[in-house]
Structure 1
Amino acid sequence: KEALDEVFPIEDFTGNLELNFHHYSMGDPKYEEQECKERDVSYQAPIKLKVRLTDKESGEIRESEVYMGDLPIMTDKGTFIINGAERVVVSQLVKSPGVYFNDRIDVSGKILYGATVIPNRGAWFELEMDAFGAVYTRIDKTRKIPVTVLLRALGYPTNDDILALYDNDETIIRTLEKDTTTSREEALIEFYRRLRPGELATVDGAEQLLRNLFFEPRRYDLAAVGRYKINKKLGLDTPADVRHLEPRDLLATIGYLLGLVRGEGKTDVIDHLGNRRLRSVGELLQNQFRTGLVRMERVVKERMSIHDFESLTPQVLINVRPITAVIKEFFGSSQLSQFMDQTNPLAELTHKRRLSALGPGGLTRERAGFQVRDVHHSHYGRICPIETPEGPNIGLIGSLSTYARVNEFGFIETPYRKVDKQKHRVTDEIHYLSADEEEEYIVAQANSPIDNEGYFLTERVVARYGSDIVEVNLEQVDYMDVSPKQVFSVATSLIPFLEHDDANRALMGANMQRQAVPVIQPEAPIVGTGLEYKAAKDSGAVVIARNSGVVRKVSATSIEIMTDEGKIDKYPLLKFVRSNHGTCINQKPIVADGQRVEADEIIADGPAIDHGELALGRNVMAAFMPWEGYNFEDAILISEKLVMDDVFTSIHIEEYECEARDTKLGPEEITRDIPNVSEDMLKNLDDRGIIRIGAEVRADDILVGKVTPKGETELTPEERLLRAIFGEKAREVRDSSLRVPHGESGKIVDVKVFSREAGDELPPGVNQLVRVYVAQKRKISEGDKMAGRHGNKGVISRILPQEDMPYLPDGTPIEIVLNPLGVPSRMNIGQVLECHLGMIARALGFWVASPVFDGANEEIIFRKSRE
């Protein structure tokens, strides 16, 4: 957050008051992460600034510490908790600041060049040519001015000065013909008139305007990236901390453009990853914070001018409302702050690795053309070519490749193994290259044959150079890919035999794995890709040992480990917690008493994880055959055994809440004493009127008993008589209890009660809040969707008794029948290979890891099947 406060070191107005800050500190969050989720509050910590106010006339100084609002804190899992819900801030792919050269073909068939200098913030500077070959400049999309006018204004007043700059370039001569000005003053006035039409132009005003546009650090910022890109493109050596433009940057840009006309240099492709960078959480938040600070600065300046110094303190001056409002708005409603996809661990992991070209400062779905969405050769090893949504967002939302990382400038880098050019040997030295750096090298493929020493086995190797695939001699190779999976994202790398699937189906397979609902008893796949362990571990759904030691105590709810240093580490486990999407998060220990555990080892499974491996479904016996038309059009036929044995049964948790408010007629009350309700309906409620944990409920059962006061009604004479005799005032309340909605049922797994008396923070007007969690076991049924990992999806059309299912020669009944016609036209042959290998592996009792593009091939399967 420091960079922010640099935006803003001092403020003053007439110059005799100054507000300055030394350092900032962050406090501790008020609640723990889990408690924030329960209480529906944000996980955040206060920021405090040490501020001093100086009166320059008297030299008087006042210091104090000012509270600057709360800032949400990222959890260890990379999420934020906002109002009790876990959210993820997605990284944004944007055009990098810098200078870009483009070309377009004119109506007459001439190639016209242009240039744009894009800053991080500030005015855009554009150059363009007309059909006559003159160069014009546009500033911030305003009217165009001959570029020579700008050159005069920058201090090259005569034609000779200008021609000397670019030794009598043809283009410049043509431009001078269009230029009406002859001196610096005239040029400045002309410049001002074009930018601010209708205002009185003065030389001083114009100088001020020109300086403020480009050369003033507070108004113009290239960011470190922009300076790096400009220096690199134009071959300058300006220091990295000069983050505004300098006159020589503009001169060099014009020079490069003139070079393009002569056929020197090359234009830029905007879709190249060397020209697109990532803005991740920190930077996005920093931009919001800066906006807040700028708004606050205005308030401070106003207050400085209104109050006299005697009554001023830093607290009076600084108003934190704009800052907190901006941050709240960013986390609450920005397009890039998203409700975390928590269906299963893979969905969580993928969501955090997502890259979006949408959002503020990015593209919009409607405007994005085909070019932007397409796969570019620079995506190799950086952005997955397969995992992207189907539909209007295709190509605008991507996923980071397996081994990719982001460098300090926000460019995506991918690792390569260095090749020793003298010995033609692949070393184990790893270099990370950005898309720009990679353009200059020749990179061999990961599956080029090499021996154990790292020497290439063939005379020539297949390699990539820029956008081409070439066959080169050994002495030309600079680098070699690290692994075939470096091209793909995590979800795509979990598809076995990906190399035999059509890309469109692989896309569906990668996306549908994220939608898998965790089953009660998950199984790791018999045919996996070897990435299951890592994916599960990094997803944040499992419990990982912090230190090595020996397990001292294991129960369903916690694990205690005696570390080697003699301390005790406690790991509480989550039991039947509701995820963002209503699926059930339940952690189970996989270690036993007295077992030795190493640091960084998985000690408890989460949802859809089996012994530390990602397990999104079950291994079932499948047959490809038609069955009386029940698997027409991708429908699926399953055996009743899958229903009876709870093979595909999942647990879903629904949350219901009930609040007791203050009404005009008096407070509502949570009670067991409800009018006109039979004792039978109340049998599961405790004495407070709240349902007990473990009760089975069906539609319309009462979860929380609550009564609301009703207005006094006029009494009939008979009632008045009865009232007079028995002296009892009939309670005027109506039943407003929380009931189970229609079509829902289940078991109560948890109840939480918050009340104002206990000191809980509740919304205004609410005295008590009760939350009830109902868990439901859902068996697989007709109409449910099932899918494999190859985009082979279908809907269950019928559930057959086991005795009616087709069976194998040895009498084993098949568990699931798929349509063979779903394979040839879809070209996802991977599913057939997976079936064969799975069958063999089950028979021979081994497990398979077949990494993408590097796994088992037909020969191996054939050989194994003979065994």
Structure 2
Amino acid sequence: MPNHRYFISDFVEIQRKSFFDLLEMGIVEEFSKRNPISDVNKNLELFFYPEYYKLSKPEYTVRQAILKSRSYASKFYIPVQLTDKKHKVIKLKWVLLGNLPLMTKRGHFLINGAARVIVNQIIRSPGIYFQQKIHEVYVDKWTEKPIETHKRYYADLICLRGTWLRIEIDKDKLIWAQMKKGPKIPVLWLLIGMGLSERYILKSLTDANRLIINFSKKLKNRSKQEYVYVHNPPEAWKQLYKTFSSNIKSEQNKTTDQIENDSLEINFKDTNGVSSVLTKEELKNDLNSLSFSGSINQLNSEYGKKQIPILKKTDLILAKKLNKKLIDEKRKSELGRKWLFKKFMNPRSYDLGKQGRISLNKKLGLSISLKQLTLTADDILATTDYLIKLEKGLKSVDDIDHLKNRRVRTSGQLIQIQLAIGLIRLEKVVREKMSKTTTTPNINSLIQTKVFNGALKEFFGSSPLSQFMDQINPLSELTHKRRLSSLGPGGVTRDNATLEIRGIHPSHYGRICPIETPEGKNTGLVNSMTTYAKVNSEGLIETPFYKVYQGQVQKTAGMCFLSAEQEEKVKVAPGDLSISSLGFLANSLIPVRVADEFTKIHRDEIQFLAVSPIQMISVATSLIPFLEHDDANRALMGSNMQRQAVPLIRPERPIVGTGLEVKAVSDSSQIIQAKSSGFVAYVSADKIIVYGFN
């Protein structure tokens, strides 16, 4: 078998590629989400042209930045257009937004002269997860064993930005929707409130009666809240308003006129018992303009033309009261609707991300457009249906620790998230300034650099994922740049991390090292990427395999990179099998792995072959000779202690090595490297002469 080290990609590639993707696509994507910024009346509009942004040459070189304790950063310029529709003025200008720290070729940043590394974060992927919890019933608090146990299920809808939503079945078999903060609401309210008709909901579900049980009379006493059965969206919005009124208080200051002036019809009965109809506009005009003394005839003569029954003074007063009450009801339902829209259906405050939308479509069997990055009523309906089927045993729960359900946020994506925070703050400042001005403002007066700069400084200076680079030796630096952390914003904390999260999963093979992890409270929460692993555009960790066709290993076809989800569907043989000169495997039963099961099969059935025996371990662990004879705990200590070794004044080759030492040192960039390959003709303490082959 050829020496494995020639196939290993650059160890720091994950950092460099990620930052390159940010410059190429991430910045444009983030600005496009915020375009355009307009004032309340939509007279002033600010539009960014992110695809034309420019970065200036850094003020200091890497060396100067270290010596002068400055940041290695570029000035970020972007063309901005201001449109004033009222005065019919258009202004276009290049604007300095702030300073963007640049990554060095070694994969780290220089902030105030100090080298900092942004650690890759591994988090639960946006999407939908179905899980179960067990309710236990005890006779009293002293009883050791429960007398009854009930399995109950719930679905978590996880988004990239916004509020997480949980739809759960409680111990009384009722179905509720709940957010992280706030009370539970019957899922039927949510579905009707999102615009679905009751008929459509009940026809679409497997067991539609389950949604109506929430409103049965028997259950009224189990809570202080009296449940009201609603039939149409305005009613549902009104109920949502009542349930979440504390969240909507900020919107209550609006006047009635600010609420959309839809045609609201008011029914009341005249003296003859005939139903009369007045629209909101007619009532508003007539009731406000007429006084009650001596104006009845005038009003009756006006409405007589419209063939409406004669009105009495008492009817007029009743109409005015009823009108006020209905407008108030309309206002409540309108605020409830706006609250619901803002929470889950507004792309500015809720974002599933492309991955989240793909996950929802795949899991729930939907075909919603990949551009639809907010929740839809159909998502909630399909989730409820899946939950009912799960309870009946027709579907299965998800394994949240499987790597197909986890994504890696690389340094570029973490900076992009921070850019988004900076732009949201900038948008707020711009809106405030737009509302105060009466004339056409200057573009420079609207945009401040400190808002954008502040968000980036905050991240690089104080985020738990932005760390001082470990520079004790080349290996420590390399390991730091290839680290995967489950901690940080959006991740788990040391206190609530369970043993399942910290454990080793079968899907980690070839992706996350089972050996190298810290000892103590961070065990299993901070991991290392394996030697051959790489992160794809979706944030999934992939590992390479050779294809096997009828017992022959197809090495010349190159390596196939598979994600954890793809790998669990194929039969994989280990990387240390003997192969004939023609590339055939031994003609006997060969041990293979299918997902997490081990078995022996004939060579013709094998689909893939692992690339190398060191494929499943990290760089530091693969430097330990005869690792397979070691106890795993001692190997863990060996991996971690190598990073604490102080470099020698005169470096030496190891007496017993594994062949990966050269690759580790060269990729860490701590040795002098020629830009192109060639023949070394002369070496002294002052200079090295290399003749290129070209």
Is the TM-score greater than 0.5?
yes
More strand by share: 1
> Which whole-Å deviations, capped at 9, do the CAs of 1:448-479 have from their partners, x for residues lacking one?
34323333314322222222222334454322
SS of 2:363 mapped into structure 1? helix
Q: Is the 8 A contact 1:148 1:176 kept in 2?
A: no
Choose from 142, 146, 149 the match for 1:109. Answer: 149
Q: Match of 1:187, SS?
A: helix
Q: 1:181 aligns with which of 199, 219, 229?
A: 229
What is the CA distance between 1:170 and its match in structure 2?
5.8
Contact 1:163 1:173 in 2 (8 A): no
Give the Cα–Cα distance (whole angstroms) in 1 for the partners of residues 664 and 112 of structure 2.
28
Picking from 144, 149, 152, the partner of 2:189 is 149
- Provide the C-alpha distance between the structure 2 equivalents of 1:305 and 1:136, rounded to a whole number of angstroms: 41
The counterpart of 1:214, out of the listed 307, 321, 344, is 344
Whether the 8 Å contact between 2:201 and 2:381 is mirrored in structure 1 is no
Q: CA deviation at 1:16?
A: 0.7
Choose from 567, 571, 588 the match for 1:438: 567
User: Which has more radius of gyration?
Assistant: 1
Q: 1:499 to 1:563 in 2, by over 3 A?
A: closer
Answer yes or no: is the 8 Å Cα contact 1:157–1:182 preserved in 2.
no
CA distance in 2, matches of 1:156, 1:299: 37
Structure 1 equivalent of residue 57 of structure 2: 28
State the Cα deviation string for residues 671-695 of structure 1 (Å, max 9, x = none).
xxxxxxxxxxxxxxxxxxxxxxxxx
Cα–Cα, structure 1 residues 333 and 132, in superposed 2: closer, same or farther, change >3 Å? closer
1:704-754 CA-partner distances (Å, limit 9, x unpaired): xxxxxxxxxxxxxxxxxxxxxxxxxxxxxxxxxxxxxxxxxxxxxxxxxxx
Q: Which residue identity lines up with residue 232 of structure 1 in the other structure?
A: K
| Pairing of 1:213-292 with structure 2 (within 5 A) | 213-292=343-422
- Structure 2: which amino acid aligns with 1:374? G
More displaced stretch, 474-483 vs 51-60: 474-483
What is the aligned partner in structure 2 of residue 463 from structure 1? 592
Q: In 2 relative to 1, CA 548–442 (structure 1 residues): closer, same or farther, beyond 3 Å?
A: closer
The equivalent residue for 1:399 is 528
In the alignment, structure 1 residue 4 sits paired with structure 2 residue 30: yes
* 2:631 alignment counterpart: 502
User: Residue 360 of structure 2 contacts residue 366 of structure 2 at CA under 8 Å; is this kept in 1?
Assistant: yes
Query: Which amino acid in the other structure matches residue 233 of structure 1?
Result: K
- Secondary structure at the aligned position of 1:292 is classed as helix
SS at match of 1:490: coil
1:89 equivalenced with 2:118 (yes/no): yes
C-alpha separation between the residues in 2 aligned to 1:255 and 1:437? Answer: 27
Question: What is the rounded CA distance, in whole Å, between the counterparts of 1:555 and 1:297 in structure 2?
Answer: 58
Tell me, yes or no, if structure 1 residue 329 matches structure 2 residue 458: yes
> Is the alpha carbon distance of 1:478 and 1:299 closer, same or farther for their aligned partners in structure 2, counting shifts above 3 Å?
same
Aligned partners of 1:150, 1:476: CA distance in 2, in Å? Answer: 51
Q: Is 1:130 matched up with 2:170? A: yes
Structure 1 residues 556-586: Cα deviation after superposition (integer angstroms, max 9, x where no partner) = 2443545456xxxxxxxxxxxxxxxxxxxxx
SS at match of 2:663: helix
Aligned to 1:368: 497
Letter in 1 for 2:178: R
Alignment of 1:318-717 (within 5 A): 318-420=447-549, 423-428=550-555, 429=557, 430-549=559-678, 554-561=683-690, 563=692
Q: Deviations over 1:318-365 (max 9, x none)?
A: 011121112112112221111111111111111110111112222222
Residue of structure 2 equivalent to 1:17: 44
Q: Structure 1 residues 425, 255: closer, same or farther in 2, change over 3 A?
A: farther
Between the two proteins, the alignment pairs up a number of residues equal to 561
Unaligned ranges ≥5, structure 1: 566-867
Identify if the C-alpha distance between structure 1 residues 476 and 249 changes in structure 2 by more than 3 Å, giving closer, same or farther.
farther
The answer (yes or no) to whether the contact 2:117–2:480 under 8 Å persists in 1 is yes
Give the aligned partner of residue 783 of structure 1.
none
Aligned partner of 2:616: which letter? V
How far has the Cα of 1:175 moved from its partner? 4.5
CA contact (8 A) 2:486 2:526 kept: yes
CA distance in 1, matches of 2:669, 2:95: 36
Q: Deviations over 1:120-163 (max 9, x none)?
A: 011211111122322111134421112122222233443x5432
Deviations 1:344-401 (A, max 9, x none): 1111111110111112222222222222111111111111000011111111111000
CA distance in 1, matches of 2:438, 2:686: 62
Residues 460/176 of structure 1: CA separation in 2 closer, same or farther (3 Å cut): farther
Q: Among 36, 40, 52, which residue is 2:81 paired with?
A: 52
Listed one character per residue, the Cα deviations across residues 779-817 of structure 1 (whole Å, up to 9, x for unaligned) are xxxxxxxxxxxxxxxxxxxxxxxxxxxxxxxxxxxxxxx
1:448·1:462 contact (CA, 8 Å) conserved in 2?
no
Q: State the distance in 2 between where 1:156 and 1:360 align.
A: 35
Q: Percent identity?
A: 43
- Using a 3 Å threshold, how does the CA distance of structure 1 residues 360 and 19 change in structure 2: closer, same or farther? same
In structure 1, distance between residues paired with 2:687 and 2:433: 56
Amino acid across the alignment from 1:334: S
Residues 264 and 306 of structure 1: CA distance in aligned 2, closer, same or farther (over 3 Å):
same
Q: Structure 2: any 5+ residue segments left out of the alignment?
A: 1-26, 137-147, 220-226, 253-328
Classify 1:206/1:504 alpha carbon distance in 2 versus 1 (closer, same or farther; 3 Å). same
Query: Could you report, residue by residue, the CA deviation over 1:150-191 in whole angstroms, capped at 9, with x for unpaired residues?
Result: 222233443x54321114456445446466313113222112
Question: Is 1:307–2:431 an aligned residue pair?
Answer: no
Residues 147, 175 of structure 1: 8 Å contact kept: no
1:69 aligns with 2:69: no
Cα distance in 2 for partners of 1:254, 1:451 equals 55
Mapped to 1, the partners of 2:547 and 2:181 lie a distance apart of: 46
Is 1:399–1:489's contact at 8 Å kept on the other side of the alignment? yes
Contact preservation (8 Å) 1:300, 1:318: yes
CA deviation profile, 1:628-680 (whole Å, cap 9, x unmatched): xxxxxxxxxxxxxxxxxxxxxxxxxxxxxxxxxxxxxxxxxxxxxxxxxxxxx
**Kindly tell me: are residues 452 and 187 of structure 1, through their superposed partners in 2, closer, same or farther at Cα, counting changes over 3 Å?**
same
Relative to 1, partners in 2 of residues 1:369 and 1:548: Cα closer, same or farther, differing over 3 Å? closer
1:723-802 matched pairs, under 5 angstroms: none
Q: Does the C-alpha gap of structure 1 residues 554 and 474 become closer, same or farther in structure 2, counting only changes over 3 Å?
A: closer
- Matches of 1:89 and 1:230, distance apart in 2: 30
Question: TM (normalized to structure 2)?
Answer: 0.77
Is residue 2:114 matched to residue 1:80?
A: no
CA RMSD of aligned residues (A): 2.0
Query: In 2, distance between residues paired with 1:50 and 1:335?
Result: 33
Check conservation: 1:549, 1:564, Cα contact below 8 A.
yes
Q: Does structure 2 conserve the Cα–Cα contact (< 8 Å) formed by 1:449 and 1:458? A: no
* Partner Cα separation in structure 2 for residue 301 and residue 471 of structure 1: 67
Contact 2:586 2:603 in 1 (8 A): no
Kindly state the Cα deviation for residue 488 of structure 1 after the two structures are TM-superposed.
Answer: 0.1
**Alpha carbons 2:207, 2:388 under 8 Å: kept:** no
SS in 1 for 2:570: coil
Whether the 8 Å CA contact 2:587–2:602 is kept in 1: the answer is no
Corresponding residue SS for 2:620: helix
Give the aligned partner of residue 163 of structure 1.
Answer: 202
Distance 1:480 1:419 in 2: 7
Q: For residues 686 and 118 of structure 2, what CA distance do their matches in structure 1 show?
A: 31
